[in-house]
């Protein structure tokens, strides 16, 4: 079994930061579909990270 030390709190903060930046990008995109669609995809991936990482933090606190 392979184990790694992971700072889940720092990982969660980075995920939150990425999400905020993507949401800001949507705000300033001016409705450009190529930006909005790609940001939607990124947000979907971020949601999966939240389910896998950020939600675990709730149980650790």
pLDDT given at position 30 = 96
Describe the crossing of helices 8-28 and 33-49 by its angle, rounded to 10 degrees: 160
Asked if 57 and 13 touch (Cβ cutoff 8 Å), the reply is no
Measured CA to CA, the distance from residue 52 to residue 8 in angstroms comes to 10
The pLDDT tens digits along the chain (61 residues) read: 455 677 888 888 999 999 999 999 999 999 999 999 999 999 999 999 998 886 777 777 6
Write the CB contacts of 26 (distance below 8 Å, at least 6 apart in sequence). Answer: 35, 36, 39
Helix (H, G, I), strand (E, B) or coil at 7: coil
């Amino acid at each position: 079994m392979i184990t790694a030390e992971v700072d889940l709190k720092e990982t969660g903060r980075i995920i939150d930061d990425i999400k905020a930046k993507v949401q800001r990008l949507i705000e300033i995109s001016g409705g450009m579909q190529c930006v909005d669609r790609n940001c939607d995809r990124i947000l979907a991936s971020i949601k999966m990270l939240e389910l896998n990482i950020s939600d675990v933090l709730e149980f650790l606190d």
